Amino acid sequence: MERLDLPPDVVIRRLPLYARSLRYLQDEGIQFISSHGLGTRINVTAAQIRKDLSYFGEFGKQGIGYNVNKLLAHIEHILGLSKEWLMVLAGVGHLGQAIVRYEGFGSRGVRLVGIFDNDPAKVGQVIEDLPILPDEDLARVIHELGVKIAVVAVPASHAQSIVDTMVAAGIRAILNYAPVVLRVPDGICVRYIDPITALHSMTYYLAQEEDKRRSQTP
Amino acid sequence: MERLDLPPDVVIRRLPLYARSLRYLQDEGIQFISSHGLGTRINVTAAQIRKDLSYFGEFGKQGIGYNVNKLLAHIEHILGLSKEWLMVLAGVGHLGQAIVRYEGFGSRGVRLVGIFDNDPAKVGQVIEDLPILPDEDLARVIHELGVKIAVVAVPASHAQSIVDTMVAAGIRAILNYAPVVLRVPDGICVRYIDPITALHSMTYYLAQEEDKRRSQTP
């Protein structure tokens, strides 16, 4: 029985973790897994997994667990990964180059079809079979190919203006590496990849630990 | 009046965004900012900012707003950024090299002091003044220098074992780029930098949009 309420974003964010873990199980040749077994691999309780999946239907059988292949196919379908989404990248500095070369991005569901930089010295260079195009071509490529996903790896000062261009041309989902919060219209999905912010939220806990240790030392 | 309850992690994760935004304001020469003005820069409501900051004391004056320099210094102190934390990196592939070269990491509060790889061909190469050391030296360097933070940029298959080594040697906070969920003892802080998972959670919404559009077309 399918639930009628919409899954919250936090559930949608966990589904790719389930899918990745199921892919690893597939690679190991494992055919069935319990919700408990799947949970221990991703630090989620069995109850949480069952609750998350209940938004999308009934999976798994009492005593047998989940069929790895079937559950993976189902989750990939839910995540829209049974088709291929085209993606562009803006900003081909050190970070952008690492992104282009990162095999993960060539994986399922997503394909990088255009890379862009505003540095004339970089335009025309080829990375992993993709020629670097000038920013002026960005809107045209997005529009002509029907690209929906963009990766932003430009400097912070340049990010908002290039995102405005992208959204006007038809981009609906943005993976943002620039260290700045973007303003986008309703309905545009943005995810932030922000290692410095992540680091600076961990130093809080390190400082707390040091304070505690110091106050305990006589 | 300081609140007695502990700030939840979601608040701790927002503080670095406030700090970054205040640094940009500082660069622009702005001395005072209202909670509303700060909020619009990071898509957070004024009420949320006031609530978040109330965990740590009283800031800002009615009608004047926050003193940018003072609030920034205060937040950096809360985040433990008034001292410098040492950091090591494991895995100097394309991604690891981009991390070493990323100026952001050289910024406040954190300093990369050792980079490690298990590829003998890489050991001894120098990137941004840091020689690549073999994995065998990892535990010794962490221990001798009192390093508390590690960045993990090794392949998924190698991540858990290197993290076990790191934690045993004294690492307390891990920024993990490997596409795998890590098992760590209680008290060890882990943040995930996971672009593929972020992408795969956005394709869900893109697929929903397409379904809706298709069902609306007669």
Average pLDDT, chain A: 92
Residue A16 has pLDDT above 80, yes or no: yes
For residue A101, the chain B residue with the least C-alpha distance is B94
Would you state the pLDDT for residue A212? 87
For residue A107, the chain B residue with the least C-alpha distance is B196
The whole-angstrom distance between residue B192's C-alpha and the CA centroid of its chain comes to 9
Of B43, B180, B202, the CB nearest to A191: B202
B175–A198: do the CB atoms touch at under 8 Å? yes
Cβ-contact A78, B204 below 8 angstroms = yes
For residue B17, the chain A residue with the least C-alpha distance is A197
The percentage of chain B sitting over the pLDDT mark of 70, rounded to a whole number, equals 95
Distance (Å, whole) CA A135 – CA A148: 17
A206–B95: do the CB atoms touch at under 8 Å? no
Residue B214 has pLDDT above 90, yes or no: no
Count how many residues are written for chain B: 218
Residue B106 has pLDDT above 70, yes or no: no
Would you state the pLDDT for residue B1? 46
Instruction: Indicate which of B72, B202, B209 best probes the interface with A, i.e. most A CBs within 10 Å of its own CB.
Output: B202
List CB contacts of A51: < 8 A, sequence separation 6 or more. none
Distance (Å, whole) CA A151 – CA B202: 12
Q: How far does the CA of residue A73 sit from the closest CA of chain B (Å)?
A: 14
B13–A201: do the CB atoms touch at under 8 Å? yes
Would you state the pLDDT for residue B81? 94
Place of tokens 């609750």: A51
Cβ-contact A172, B143 below 8 angstroms = no
Torsion of CA B194, B199, B200, B202, to 10 degrees: 130
Q: What is the mean pLDDT of residues A34-55?
A: 92
Cβ-contact A46, A66 below 8 angstroms = no
Tens of pLDDT along B133-146? 999 999 999 999 99
pTM for the model stands at 0.90
Of A21, A99, A206, the CB nearest to B172: A206
Q: Which residues of A touch B166 (CB under 8 A)?
A: none
Q: Which residues of B touch A189 (CB under 8 A)?
A: 202, 205-206
Distance (Å, whole) CA A45 – CA A38: 9
Would you state the pLDDT for residue A63? 77
3-state helix, strand, coil in chain A (%, to 5): 50, 20, 35
Q: What is the mean pLDDT of residues B117-137?
A: 96
Any idea what the Cα angle at residue A92 is, between residues A90 and A98, rounded to 5°?
A: 115
B20–A107: do the CB atoms touch at under 8 Å? no
Give the residue among B103, B33, B44, B105 at the shortest CA–CA distance from B72.
B33
Q: How far does the CA of residue A24 sit from the closest CA of chain B (Å)?
A: 10
Of A105, A179, A199, the CB nearest to B149: A199
Q: Which residues of A touch B79 (CB under 8 A)?
A: 200-201, 203-204, 207
A202–B189: do the CB atoms touch at under 8 Å? yes
Distance (Å, whole) CA B162 – CA B47: 43
Beta bridge partners of A173: A149, A189
Distance (Å, whole) CA A201 – CA A195: 10
Residue B208 has pLDDT above 50, yes or no: yes
Cβ-contact A35, A71 below 8 angstroms = no
Per-residue burial over A71-88, b = 16 or more CB atoms within 10 Å of its CB, e = otherwise: bbebbbebbbbeeebbbb
Would you state the pLDDT for residue A1? 46
Cβ-contact B162, B90 below 8 angstroms = yes
A102–B94: do the CB atoms touch at under 8 Å? yes
A19–B200: do the CB atoms touch at under 8 Å? yes
Ordered structural domains, chain B, with CATH:
9-78 (1.10.10.10), 85-197 (3.40.50.720)
Would you state the pLDDT for residue B157? 93
The percentage of chain A sitting over the pLDDT mark of 70, rounded to a whole number, equals 95
Would you state the pLDDT for residue B3? 54
What are the structure tokens assigned to A178, written together?
């620039």
Would you state the pLDDT for residue B148? 97
Q: Which residues of B touch A20 (CB under 8 A)?
A: 179-180, 196-197
Confidence of residue B218 (pLDDT cuts 50, 70, 90): low
Distance (Å, whole) CA A196 – CA B15: 12
Would you state the pLDDT for residue A60? 74
Distance (Å, whole) CA B138 – CA B125: 16
Give the residue among B170, B13, B215 at the shortest CA–CA distance from A197.
B13
A104–B16: do the CB atoms touch at under 8 Å? no
Q: How far does the CA of residue A167 sit from the closest CA of chain B (Å)?
A: 14
What are the structure tokens assigned to A202, written together?
């961990």
Helices and strands (H and E) in chain B: how many: 8, 9
What are the structure tokens assigned to A169, written together?
């041309």
Distance (Å, whole) CA A71 – CA A55: 14
DSSP A72-119: HHHHHHHTTTTS-EEEEEE--SHHHHHHHH-GGGGSTTEEEEEEEES-
Residue A56 has pLDDT above 50, yes or no: yes
More confident residue, A189 or A95: A189
Angle between helix B46-54 and B9-27 (nearest 10):
110
Is the Cα dihedral B160, B111, A209, B3 positive or negative? negative
Q: Which residues of B touch A107 (CB under 8 A)?
A: 196
**Contacts across the A-B interface (CB distance below 8 Å):** 194
B12–A149: do the CB atoms touch at under 8 Å? no
Would you state the pLDDT for residue A4? 60
Average pLDDT, chain B: 92
Q: Which residues of A touch B17 (CB under 8 A)?
A: 181, 197
- Lowest pLDDT segment from A127-136, A150-159, B103-112: B103-112
Give the residue among B135, B198, B119, B33 at the shortest CA–CA distance from A14.
B198
Place of tokens 């799947």: A38
At A175, is the secondary structure helix, strand, or coil? strand
Query: Looking at this predicted complex, what is its ipTM?
Result: 0.91
Terminal Cα-to-Cα distance of chain B (whole angstroms): 61
Q: Which residues of A touch B167 (CB under 8 A)?
A: none
Tens of pLDDT along A137-157? 999 999 999 999 999 999 999
A201–B15: do the CB atoms touch at under 8 Å? yes
